[in-house]
Structure 1
Amino acid sequence: MSDIGLAALHPAVQHHVVNTLQWPGLRPLQGAAVEPVLDGVDCLLLAPTAGGKTEAAAFPVLSRMAADGWTGISVLYVCPLRALLNNLAPRLNSYAAWLGRSADVWHGDVGQAQRRRILRERPDILLTTPESLEAMLVSANIDTRHTFQDIRTVVVDEVHAFAGDDRGWHLLAVLERLSQVAGRELQRIGLSATVGNPDELLAWLQGSNSGRPRRVVAPQATGAVTTDISLDHVGTIDNAAKVITALHRGEKRLVFVDSRRRAEELGAALRANDVTTFLSHSSLSAAERKRSEEAFSEARDCVIVATSTLELGIDVGDLDRVIQIDAPQTVASFLQRIGRTGRRAGSNRNCLFLCLKQEAVLHAAGLLTRWAQGWVEPITAPAAPRHIVAQQILALALQQKTVGVRTWRESWGGLPLFGPDSTEIMEHLLTNGFLDRDGDLAFIGPEAERRFGRRYFSDLTAVFTAAPEFLVLFGKEEIGQIGDDALLVEVEGPRVLLLAGRAWKVNHVDWKRRRCFVEPSDLPGRARWGGGGRGLSFAITRGMRTVLLGTSPDGVALTRRAVTALSELRELHSSHVVADGTVISRSPNGDLHWWTWAGSAANQTLHASVPGLVDRRQRVGDNAVRLFSDMSFSDVKNALTGPLREELPEVNESAVEGLKFASALPDDLARATVAERLADFSSMRAVLQEPRTFIQDDAH
């Protein structure tokens, strides 16, 4: 704790920090943030999980609010998750109350009565999501100018979670439109865990405000943070449950898994071992998740199994242990998860990896190798957000009732969202009935009504696509949602689902209303959802190659089972890795593989760019690309001599359909958008520039 910055805060804030919170001072981040935030500078505040980022933004913003006499909704606090908003609201409201101010929440779960009250008695701080802001802007029942005319500052919590996908572009576009409504540039404050490119992330967050002063606030941590990281190979979910049951009895354990199905399977296995177990994932009802998270935060000897829903800053109490089944996709995700531990004085940060397959042991070891080197992924916004351009034009037409055919870009200032294809997109909307034209003005057309008009264009306010699911009900109690697969797959005997860690027998399915009525069952249930995992990055896959070459991650304890798994993998891949380049090897059965260890995006780009070499009938993975088996090594060398024509990866119709608002784009632009997001030209070029070793693999 430090006195730095405390004296600059409003006297009432100072008083309550010392006397109500009984803090001896501010944390380093909080103290360092006071001066730039008070000065109205755009900021990125960086600290690990539980580093006091919320207060680092809130205390000086409240001080500005009091000193400058802000009225109305002057501060927006934007989060990626409703649960995080619910979690933060009481804390922010208590801070606001120090000054006689208030904070309130607005999102999809908030009822109409509360919404009417908020519009009537506008709070000083509104906690919300980008989707809810969009819905408010386009609502015919909300006077947007009256509601948002007083906005001065926007705080974006977990900004890295936005910036890495289309929700970030959507957020920036909505903020530009809010700035137009308010008639002023808005101070933007991003809160984030550690990222690899903070300056670029803050510049992105500024949007069209690139001329405003900005500052990254990331004070060096004082004191060494000890970590306790272990890596084990357990083989099966049941074995993982046995290890979790046996280890750390009497402690609170948070277990991360990579899918909803895994969460359900592990939850059921732990409960079968009489472990007090709770679940949290996106297909559980909000009430079910809340019950689990509240019960877990108040218990001691228990486990909560979660997908990435608990990776962000939702408070589930004082954790003792974090356990990871297999490995997360990124180092940044690992840092978020391990940061949930070590918050008590004298405790350390810890994570136990329990890997189900040998390949997962290699993935975890590669990721931990990069972490041990101090590397964290840079956060980059998705390329070519053309579909967001289409969505924004239609949303603006809803908000303003009309949109200027020649002047529509003015509503977003100089936001780099709108690239050279924007004019073609606008023409497509006009010529295909998404917009109707009347001179220089356009308004919502019949095609937009047909595709997005359900429930007053609610589908237009969110840029992510969620597969339609069935609501699962036990009487009137909502348990969660399941996909079609769980109800369509053939079964013998009664159909039993696994949801919320419990088995439910299906009694009736209302296909038209998409409702599934169940009752508890003692029979074993099955969890099933569609969707697959993403591929690994160039950096993580190269970390895996380093492990295969004999390196073990520093500061990580390997169990005997993990050591055995890595030894067997090193033997298996002994002819597939070299330290200074890539390997092209022919197996005893004649298959020819190019072992790039470059990640799936680079390999997919290579797959498209060397069609004369690559067998098209393959699922491209992270480690290698299969070449035509009838080619000789000389043929391959000759084919790779000279420059290659770089091509975008191929995309299928289902991939294009998964791009929300693709229907509002010309077909070629929709396909190009998906392809550009699958490509990694820079990593492919790195592969092509490396030496190649040719090996006749007789060992396996």
Structure 2
Amino acid sequence: MNIFNRYAPFIQDYIYDHGWQNLRPIQVAAAQEIFNTENNVLLAASTASGKTEAAFFPILSEISEKPVNSVQVLYIAPLKALINDQFDRLNELTQDTGIKIWRWHGDVAQTQKRKLLKKPSGILQITPESLESLIINKHMAIPDLFHGLQYIVIDELHSFLRSDRGGQTFCLLERLAKLAQVKPRRVGLSATIGDMTAAAKFLGAGSGRKTSAPKVQSEKQVWHLSMEHFYQTDPQATSEDFDPAEIVEPKTDIAPALADPGIGYIFEHTRGKKSLIFTNSREECESVCQELREYCSYNHEPDRFLIHHGNLSPALRQTAEDAMKDPDAYVSTCATATLELGIDVGKLESAYQIDAPFTVSGFLQRMGRTGRRGTPPEMHFVMREEHPESRAMLPELIPWSLLQGIALIQLYAEEHWVEPPQPNRLPYSLLYHQTMSTLAASGEMSPAELASRVLTLAYFKNVSQQDYQILLRHLLKIDHIQKTENGGLILGLAGEKIVNNFKFYAVFMENEEFSVHAANEELGTIVKPPPVGDKIAIAGRVWVVDEIDRKRHQVYCHGVKGHIGAYFGDVAGDMHPKILQRMRKILLEDKQYPYLMKNAQARLAQVRETAQQACLDRNSLINLGGKMWAFFPWTGSYGFLALERLLRIKCKDQLKLKNFESTRPYFMTFTMDADEDQFFEVLRREASEDFDALELVFPNEVPVFDKYDEFLPDELVKKEFANSVLDVAEMRKSVEEMEK
């Protein structure tokens, strides 16, 4: 089949105008599936491989032939910024065709939304939260809006595979299809899919269609990678006089904030270039941006650093995005995951990653921001570490982030491994959310009808009718739902307060946020504002709080010089067991890695020697002196948590464990009145017992873990935590494989 000839004339013109000599393999494969089958399609290929065009060339060709007065394509993306970016790209592709591109999210004017409702057509771009709002608040308009829906395109599919947000998205797609009485095809796009079979199954669940995942021979990629290590104060690991036991604070005439060699390294290497500087939290993003700007001031150079994260105002985020797209602006942007996904920020020369991300997927996405104009992807890791104190024990002598960074790279380089979809076992928090959403949208319905609407959604396949009855009885008790005289169910007064708040649309945890203003400019949001007169950090600068309006959640401030920490709420990292296992192998093998630079090579050699001397190559349990022990399980975050619970609940009395502390998922420390043999004898016996995971929940504990757990009955909260958070199977596997 000549794919080019199947494309609509305006697509052919677009290809001619852009001087393309041929179609890319992913574009040919996508067109064959979309034109010749009725299947869902999973398109997985490297960043900048043309996936967006691969999906939309055939989709636009099809809908242009038979336009209808309905949205024909629903495009779902995890970020508003990605929608805005793709909005411009799709408008360029469809100009002069009559195909309308619409956006629907919090920053879009109501006038545009009203126009869509009045005359629906073309392509609608939306986030999961805005789709939730649309289904609840415009429920009666759904059939008219979507009666001609043919395709649902899900961009950055990998970001939906391991969270309740993904579950919410696919629940909404099923509900939408039933309301509009359509059976649209789903097209998933991602650059970082490891297990294609599992991802295809996830994409197609509840769609009533088969899912194709065409295998495309990807071009051999060349990476430009480096990894350097820095102690936050000199001397460094390569110094001839380096002796960890004799480290003292260095004498310097540079301000303390400018004494961090890792930040200085980034400052020097981004001069005259356009780069992204990735951090793992908004707090660190703010801190790094402040320090880099102080370097500019100290060196009497213009400020060339921008900032981009989820708590900044839309205007400030857009400013950074526009500057990065400007080919003549040599600026660098400190960013979190908000610039990790597929936003085109122009030709970047390099990306810098401060410390290691938690996932292979995150590493690949961040590196994929570069190399988009015919140049190889380029990423430079900067690993920072404080000098351990002279009395520091073994676990504190290990550069965990350095090992983690190497593990992420090696897992992909050696096996092309990426984190698989997270199995949804008992998602009760999301079950509450979708129950309330369904009642809010549809109004009164019988318990049986409600159950048939909610429990039949594919994401809830493991939830029993008995558990759903327990949930509904509890919601009646706390007035989140009410029974009518006819025996039907409606929202209760307490439930209406929850559903009628805009924060209800999101299923991920949110902190109580305050909007920050300086003069007439909105800077973004913070949590837990300090007292008036204290300082806050946001937008890469420091501000003094002048006034706090707690009723309206507003903070007013003015800018000052200086450097302080920022706080936006807790950030947790979920690491897969395979990453920890590869970290252990790195520690014990002799292999050298070509991307390690001088300091990183020296630091790795040092920690390998430390591990060998401590017998970490043979033992998972290390005596730190007397009754003090360190335990290194080398398992993932949730297997580690289950193991932690096993020790504290089932092994504690037998081993007389005390002073128990853990640094998840790396190590635990404790004292015990037992030796090594007794420890493993008890651990293996207890791990092999056939016990219910609920036994690893403390007696009076109600472990609220997800956003809506607080509205669930205690028994379901405990059951969800035990079966969906604690990874008992992985814990048992790791104990079986442990060396003494």
Q: TM-score if structure 2 supplies the norm length?
A: 0.86
Query: How much does 1:328 deviate?
Result: 0.6
- Determine if contact 2:527/2:567 at 8 Å carries over to the other structure: yes
User: 2:47 maps to what in 1?
Assistant: 49
CA-CA distance at 1:578 after TM superposition? 5.6
Per-residue deviation at 1:43?
A: 0.8
- CA-CA distance at 1:150 after TM superposition: 2.1
Q: 1: distance between equivalents of 2:223 and 2:280?
A: 23
Deviation at 1:500, TM superposition (A): 1.0
Aligned match of 2:280: 258
The answer to whether the 8 A contact 1:6-1:25 is kept is no
In 2 relative to 1, CA 599–50 (structure 1 residues): closer, same or farther, beyond 3 Å?
Answer: same
Structure 2 vs 1, CA of residues 449 and 557 (structure 1 numbering), >3 Å: closer, same or farther? same
Find 2:268's aligned residue among 236, 246, 258. Answer: 246
In the alignment, structure 1 residue 384 sits paired with structure 2 residue 395: no
Matched residue SS, 1:498: strand
Q: Distance in 1 between matches of 2:728 and 2:614?
A: 23
Q: CA separation in 2, counterparts of 1:662 and 1:502?
A: 36
Q: Partners in 2 of 1:304 and 1:653 — Cα distance? A: 47
CA deviation after TM superposition for structure 1 residue 221, in Å: 1.2
After TM superposition, where is structure 1 displaced by more than 6 Å over at least 4 residues in a row?
A: 651-655
What residue in structure 1 maps to residue 679 of structure 2? Answer: 636
Distance 1:35 1:184, change over 3 A: same
Q: Deviations over 1:50-97 (max 9, x none)?
A: 221111111111122123444411110000001111111122123233
Q: TM-score, normalised by structure 1?
A: 0.91
Separation of aligned partners in 2, 1:586 and 1:45: 50
Q: Tell me how far apart the structure 2 counterparts of residues 565 and 363 of structure 1 sit (CA, whole Å).
A: 14
Counterpart in 2 of 1:687? 734
**1:414–1:395: structure 2 CA closer, same or farther, 3 Å change rule?**
closer
Determine whether 1:446 maps to 2:493. yes
Q: What value does the CA root-mean-square deviation take over the aligned residues?
A: 2.5
One of 485, 491, 502 as aligned partner of 1:458? 502
Distance 1:4 1:653 in 2: 67
Measure, in 2, the Cα distance between the counterparts of 1:434 and 1:60: 46
Separation (CA, whole Å) in 1 of partners of 2:213 and 2:109: 38
Aligned twin of 2:393: none
Indicate the residue corresponding to 1:696 in structure 2.
none
CA separation of 1:71/1:654 partners in 2, compared to 1, >3 Å: closer, same or farther? Answer: farther
How far does residue 225 in structure 1 lie from its aligned partner after superposition?
Answer: 1.4
Post-superposition Cα deviations, 1:14-35, rounded to whole Å, max 9, x if no partner, equal 23322x3332232211111012
Matched, 1:404 2:450: no
CA shift at 1:656, angstroms? 4.3
1:475 aligned partner, one-letter code = A
Decide which moves more: 542-551 or 245-254. 245-254
Residue 174 of structure 2 corresponds to 176
Matches within 5 A, 1:561-580: 561-574=599-612
Residue 436 of structure 1 aligns with an amino acid whose one-letter code is Q
- Looking at structure 1, the residues matched to 3 and 131 of structure 2 have their Cα atoms a distance apart, in angstroms, of 32
Q: AA paired with 1:605?
A: A
Q: Which residue of structure 2 lines up, in the alignment, with residue 228 of structure 1?
A: 224
Structure 2 residue matching 1:497: 3-state secondary structure: strand
Query: In structure 2, what residue type is equivalent to 1:426?
Result: L
Bigger shift: residues 629-638 or 79-88: 629-638
The offset of 1:627, in angstroms, is 5.4
Cα distance in structure 2, aligned partners of 1:562 and 1:4: 52
Note the alpha carbon deviations across 1:592-631, whole angstroms, 9 max, x for none.
2332212332222122234343547323522334455211
Measure how far apart 1:545 and its partner are. Answer: 0.7
How far the C-alpha of 1:658 sits from its partner, in A, is: 5.0
**Residue of structure 2 equivalent to 1:475:** 519
Q: CA deviation at 1:559?
A: 1.8
Moved more, 440-449 or 172-181: 440-449
2:546 aligned partner, one-letter code = N
Letter in 1 for 2:458: L
* 1:29 and 2:26 aligned: yes
Per the alignment, in what secondary structure is the counterpart of residue 460 of structure 2?
coil
**Pairwise CA distance, 1:4:** 5.8
Alignment partner of 1:600 is 2:637: yes
Quick check: 1:4–1:32 contact (8 Å CA) kept in 2?
no
- Asked whether the equivalents of residues 277 and 303 of structure 1 are also in contact (C-alpha less than 8 Å), the reply is yes
Residue in 2 aligned with 1:698? none
Q: Distance in 2 between matches of 1:533 and 1:139?
A: 33
CA contact (8 A) 1:576 1:595 kept: no
- CA deviation map 1:407-435 (0-9, x unaligned): 22433545142511233223332343222
Partner residue of 2:483? 437
1:425 is aligned to 471
Q: Name the count of aligned residue pairs.
A: 677
Specify every segment of 5 or more residues in structure 2 that has no aligned partner in the other structure, as ranges: 233-256, 297-302, 386-398
Residue 183 of structure 1 deviates from its aligned partner by 0.8
Over residues 463-492 of structure 1, what are the superposed CA-to-partner deviations in whole Å (9 max), with x where a residue is unaligned?
A: 1121012111012210111111x515xx9x
CA contact 1:149–1:181 (8 Å) conserved in 2: no
2:536/2:543 contact within 8 Å kept: yes
Aligned to 2:118: 120
Query: Per the alignment, do residues 194 and 459 of structure 1 end up closer, same or farther by CA in structure 2, a change over 3 Å counting?
Result: closer
Code of the residue aligned with 1:422 in structure 2: it is Y
Summarize deviations over 1:552-594 as a string: whole Å, max 9, x none. 464x421221122212222332256666x75222222331233
Partner of 2:323: 295
Q: In the alignment, what sits opposite 1:670?
A: 717
Structure-to-structure mapping, 1:6-21, within 5 angstroms: 6-18=4-16, 20-21=17-18
After TM superposition, the structure 1 = structure 2 runs for residues 55-94 of structure 1, keeping only pairs within 5 Å, are: 55-94=53-92
User: 2:557 matched to which residue of 1?
Assistant: 518
For 2:619 and 2:41, the matched residues in 1 are separated by 42
% identical equivalent positions: 28
Kept in 2: contact 1:604–1:620 (CA 8 A): no
Q: 1:97 to 1:123 in 2, by over 3 A?
A: farther
- The one-letter code of the counterpart of 1:129 is T
Does structure 1 conserve the Cα–Cα contact (< 8 Å) formed by 2:704 and 2:717?
Answer: no
Contact 1:34 1:56 in 2 (8 A): yes
Q: Give how far 1:129 is off.
A: 0.9
Residue in structure 2 matching 1:320, options 349, 359, 376: 349
Output the CA distance in 2 between the equivalents of 1:500 and 1:43. 40
Q: Distance in 1 between matches of 2:537 and 2:699?
A: 32
- Give 2:309's aligned residue: 281
| Paired position in structure 2 for 1:697 | none
- Runs of at least 5 residues in structure 1 that lack an aligned partner in the other structure: 694-700
Matches within 5 A, 1:330-341: 330-341=359-370
Aligned mates of 1:50, 1:479 — CA distance in 2: 32
Matched to 1:212, the amino acid is R
The alignment partner of 1:51 has SS state of: coil
What CA distance in whole angstroms lies between the structure 2 residues aligned with 1:606 and 1:658? Answer: 18
Q: C-alpha displacement at 1:366, in angstroms?
A: 2.3
Query: Aligned pair in 2 of structure 1 residues 11, 218: CA closer, same or farther (>3 Å)?
Result: same
The equivalent of 2:338 in structure 1 is: 309
Larger CA deviation: 59-68 vs 648-657: 648-657
Which residue number corresponds to residue 405 of structure 2?
A: 364
* CA–CA distance in structure 2, aligned partners of residues 587 and 50 of structure 1: 50
Inter-CA distance 598–78: structure 2 relative to 1 (3 Å threshold): same
